[in-house]
Amino acid sequence: MQRVVYGREEELRSGNMWVFFFMNGDNIKGDTEGEGLHTRALLLQNQTTRPTHRRQSTTMPSSALLCCLVFLAGVGASPGHSRLSENNCSDFPANLPNMLRELRTAFSRVKTFFQMNDQLDSMLLNGSLLEDFKGYLGCQALSEMIQFYLEEVMPQAESQGPDIKEHVNSLGEKLKTLRLRLRRCHRFLPCENKSKAVEQVKSAFSKLEKKGVYKAMSEFDIFINYIEVYMTMKMKK
């Protein structure tokens, strides 16, 4: 019987078939010098006669299946995957104008409704909030304001009717997408401290009770402008 030496392989037996997987692509060498095959897999048919009435097993042993899965996982994982998120971050500044434009477009579908229902002359998003966005608390101010709109304002805004709910929900999804991108690119949202200006906004919002949702939503375009100011400053650093 000819002896065959295998370079790092796994042998899978299935019925009358032998399958050899060569993990490193090495040659298969026989006893004869110079004999070898450059291949990834070799199928050898067993010529042994088996009774025709016996059902051949096609079930792969669990250990062999595990080896296959490990192999495929190793092939699928590559340095390019880790570079993907880095490339996404490097492209983020270029994509930001489009993301802000989508926010403004989504808000324009409900802007008239909320501004018509906002009967208050006072400003909710005032100059002190903008100063926090422009200062060292900008990161936290942005993070907290996104959370404020998603968790406190928009759930109330969605109760204004089915059409409004649909558009507000779409606006919220775009805001969530922006937050996700900011969190993935840590240099744009690396923050810990609390913003006093945001706390003031939340406090004023609560005092307005039912009128608060109209006020906060009517000024959402101001919030988008503040986001733009913050991101523009970050990209210049």
What tokens does 143 get? Answer: 């993070």
3-state class percentages of the chain: helix first, strand second, coil last, to nearest 5: 65, 10, 30
Give the CA-trace dihedral at 99, 174, 144, 166, to 10 degrees.
Answer: 140
**Any idea which residue has 């400053």 for tokens?**
233
pLDDT digits (tens, 9 = 90+) for 71-102: 444 434 334 433 434 445 777 788 889 999 99
pLDDT attached to residue 181: 85
Share of the chain above pLDDT 70, in %: 59
Which is more confidently placed, 139 or 61? 139
What tokens does 66 get? Answer: 């595990």
Mean pLDDT computed over 115-122:
94
Domains, the chain, with CATH or none: 1-47+61-72 (no CATH), 84-236 (1.20.1250.10)
pLDDT attached to residue 192: 58
Mean pLDDT computed over 14-31:
40
Confirm whether pTM is higher than 0.75.
Answer: no
